[in-house]
């Protein structure tokens, strides 16, 4: 293959600047859950973008933030480890919000990764007028010398091909793809199912509760008699009062969560599933090293 390029790019930015939405749009399928809640992403999720002339492995990471819990510290450390390994770092800044202290803090952190090329991505251009986008591009250009600056709208699919081409140009040459052609992510089905349940549970909850929700798939059982997969999952919260919020009056909210999650799981697996959800309390798990370990952090 001539001039075939393949490598890793990681998008960084404050929580909620559209990193997961951008990852999904580039991959062409939902590999990372999205929500309006900060810190929705809790793992380094790899999505694979295939082109004739190259392959991009997009590593979606949690938003960098000043941590207040042990979980927060571990998420930041996960981001730092990831950034040490990638070829390109894409710094995401939304077009519709002025650059603030959080953005400047992350921009300063990028100096720790001299090996990676740096690209600025102005996201959410559909949410800002042309003048505002131009203003943001100028503001971003003053932060540092970038290898490229690209405005995009993930929901509208605008400039995504331009972004992919620019990123591939910055990748090392490769004799062959790093992943097989049909692969879109290296996430296990169980991990993706747990994330779909967590995404459904995040819908409509407020304040601190989003941070307190963790989901573990306990078991997946094939039914002998018909083509149905039974999935048993536990939702963990930190306090009894939170358990009541998740379950809702007469179990109504938990049923909604189950219905929303099941629709996505069935689309992912291409088959009918029976989803059983249980809510459990793991007291202050975000601050407890043992419980964090048990929940996969």
Domain covering 189-294 in this structure, CATH number: 3.30.300.20
pLDDT of residue 1: 47
pLDDT of amino acid 131: 95
What does pTM read for this prediction? 0.78
Between CA 241 and CA 261 the distance in angstroms is 23
The domain segmentation of the chain, as residue ranges, is 5-169, 189-294
* SS3 assignment, position 17: coil
Give the C-alpha separation, 180 to 190, whole Å: 21
5-169 topology per CATH: Rossmann fold (3.40.50)
Please report, in tens digits, the pLDDT of each residue of the chain (297 residues total).
Answer: 468 999 999 998 887 788 888 999 999 988 877 776 666 677 778 899 999 999 999 988 776 667 778 888 888 788 788 888 899 999 999 999 999 998 999 999 999 999 999 999 999 999 999 999 999 999 999 999 999 999 999 999 999 999 999 999 999 999 999 999 888 988 888 888 998 998 898 887 766 566 788 999 999 998 876 778 999 999 999 999 889 989 989 999 999 999 999 999 999 898 899 999 999 999 988 888 888 888 887
Question: Residue 119, CB half-sphere, CA atoms under 13 Å: how many?
Answer: 26
120 closest CA partner among 102, 106, 101, 132: 106
Cα distances from 19 to residues 36, 43, 103, 253, in angstroms, run 12, 13, 14, 28
Shortest CA distance to 153 belongs to which of 130, 122, 129, 132? 122
């Amino acid at each position: 293959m001539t001039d075939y390029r393949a490598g890793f790019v990681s998008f960084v930015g404050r929580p909620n600047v559209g990193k997961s939405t951008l990852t999904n749009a580039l991959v062409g399928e939902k590999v990372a859950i999205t929500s309006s809640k900060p810190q929705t992403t809790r793992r380094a999720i790899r999505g694979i973008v295939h082109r004739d002339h190259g392959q991009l492995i997009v590593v979606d990471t949690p938003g960098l933030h000043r941590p207040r819990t042990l979980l927060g510290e571990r998420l930041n450390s996960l981001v730092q480890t990831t950034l040490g390994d990638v070829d390109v770092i894409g710094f995401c800044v939304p077009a519709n919000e002025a650059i603030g202290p959080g953005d400047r803090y992350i921009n300063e952190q990028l100096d720790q990764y001299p090996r990676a090329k740096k690209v600025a991505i102005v996201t959410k251009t559909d949410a800002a007028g042309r003048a505002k986008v131009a203003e943001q591009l100028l503001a971003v250009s003053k932060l540092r010398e970038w290898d490229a600056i690209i405005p995009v709208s993930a929901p509208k699919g605008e400039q995504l091909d331009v972004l992919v081409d620019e990123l591939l140009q910055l990748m090392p040459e490769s004799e062959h793809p790093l992943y097989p052609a049909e692969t879109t992510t290296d996430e296990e089905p169980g991990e993706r199912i747990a994330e779909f349940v967590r995404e459904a549970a995040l819908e409509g909850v407020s304040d601190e509760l989003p941070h307190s929700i963790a989901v573990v798939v306990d078991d997946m059982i094939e039914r002998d008699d018909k083509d149905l997969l039974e999935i048993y999952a536990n939702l963990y919260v930190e306090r009894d009062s939170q358990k009541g919020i998740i379950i809702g009056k007469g179990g109504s909210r938990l049923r909604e969560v189950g219905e929303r999650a099941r629709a996505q799981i069935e689309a992912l697996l291409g088959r009918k599933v029976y989803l059983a959800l249980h809510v459990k309390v793991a007291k202050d798990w975000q601050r407890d090293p043992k419980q964090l370990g048990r929940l996969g952090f």
